[in-house]
Amino acid sequence: MNKNLVGWGAVIILVVVGGGFWLGNSNKSAVVTTPPSTGLENIPSDISVTAPVIGDSEEVEAVDEKQSVAGEVNQIAIASGNLFYRPDKLSLKKGEPVKLNFTNTGFHTFTIDELGVNEQFSGPSATVEFTPAQAGEFEYYCAVPGHREGGMIGTLTVR
């Protein structure tokens, strides 16, 4: 009878230890990490935004084949937010009007000193219209104190 008690005791100990191990591991929860904010989370889904991956630069040509009719305005979608413009490179044709459609977070400006462009906006969307009168390469930037210095700049090439 002592052999049976020892055998059953060993079985009970194994069941208790194994069950404790199983219970201890079954209650672990997964750690969920949230990716850092890009500043583009609040852009409505029905708005088309040309936005390269953060850190990338991509030049956007304002000439659209559908808008090749004389007198029509070229339109470009731009996102602006916490110290960024997306895209940060634009290419336009001299003398052709352009309409920049911004999706925006915060208070910003779109400023090009050489072309006399300086528009302020603070709502979720804004429109800036101008006609580049001279060819060249120009910096566009946000004139809010600290934003230009923080990297809220881009390059406009006018051909």
User: Tens-of-pLDDT digits for all 159 residues of the chain?
Assistant: 555 556 666 666 666 655 555 555 554 444 444 444 444 444 444 444 333 333 344 444 444 333 444 567 899 999 999 999 999 999 999 999 999 999 999 999 999 999 999 999 999 999 999 999 999 999 999 999 999 999 999 999 999
For residue 147, how many other CB atoms are within 10 A of its CB?
21
Structure tokens at 53: 């991956």
pLDDT per residue as tens digits for the range 108-132: 999 999 999 999 999 999 999 999 9
Helix (H) or strand (E) holding 9: helix 2-26
Contacts of residue 51, Cβ cutoff 8 Å, sequence gap at least 6: 40, 79, 86, 87
3-state secondary structure string across 50-62: CCCCCCCCCEEEC
Predicted pLDDT at 54: 38
In the chain, what are the domain boundaries? 59-158
* 59-158 CATH, one of 2.60.40.420, 2.40.110.10, 2.40.37.10, 3.40.50.300: 2.60.40.420
Are 99 and 129 in contact by the 8 Å Cβ rule? The answer is yes
Are 151 and 88 in contact by the 8 Å Cβ rule? The answer is no
**Reported pTM:** 0.57
Q: How far is CA 91 from the centre of its chain?
A: 20
